[in-house]
Amino acid sequence: MEKPAKDMTHQESIEAFKSYQRRFICEWGKLCTNWGVNKTMGQIHAILLLSHDPMCADHIMEQLSMSRGNVNMNLRALENWQLIDKVHLSGQRKDFYRAEKDLSKVFRIIVAQRKKKELDPLMKLLEEVDAVRPQCKQSNEFCKVTKELQRFAIKADHALNSITNGKGGWITKFLIR
């Protein structure tokens, strides 16, 4: 059983903090797999999100015990998603990185990326299969289902565009503010 925070020594408090920090980084990595992001990319994002100061790849490699190639590849992916920025610190030759700290912006970025990866290809496919005309029971059912799915996808597209553009109304404001 853990001691209450007021009864902890300074060293115990630091150890508890580091333990919770490691746990958060691990869990954030697992959570990110639900967004279509690999676990490593999620863990690197968590480290940068929790860091007060920009960090270099070497420090991230050390914290996660990962290879330079793996860390650099995932840093580039996080930059492409616009979840982190490269920062140049004066007097330093290395690149440093910092995470976007505005969580409403992070949410909108993730929604936009998921939409691009999942909904946009579905909408393109549904536009293509719209050429099928009902000619028998099976093609009739196919057309019925794909038309309904297309109507739903269009509504989802409008809703997600509203969220990513910051115009989602009360629900968006409730969720991300």
Averaged pLDDT score across all residues of the chain: 90
Task: Write the CA distances from 106 to 84, 101, 130, 176, integer angstroms.
Answer: 10, 8, 35, 9
CA atoms of 89 and 53, how far apart (whole Å): 11
Q: What is the pLDDT of residue 61?
A: 97
The residue with greater pLDDT, 172 or 10, is 10
Confidence band (pLDDT; 50, 70, 90) for 168?
low
Diameter over CA atoms, the chain: 77
Which pLDDT tens digit goes with each residue over 33-48? 988 889 999 999 999 9
108-134 pLDDT tens trace: 999 999 999 999 999 999 999 999 998
Q: Over the stretch 71-89, which tens digit does the pLDDT of each residue have?
A: 999 999 999 999 999 999 9
Please state, for a pLDDT cut of 90, what percent of the chain lies above it.
71
Residue 108 has which token pair? Answer: 């909108």
pTM of structure: 0.79
Check whether 60 has a pLDDT greater than 90. Answer: yes
- CA distance from start to end of the chain: 36
**4 pLDDT higher than 70:** no
Output DSSP code: residue 4.
Answer: P
Model confidence at 177, in pLDDT bands (50, 70, 90)?
low
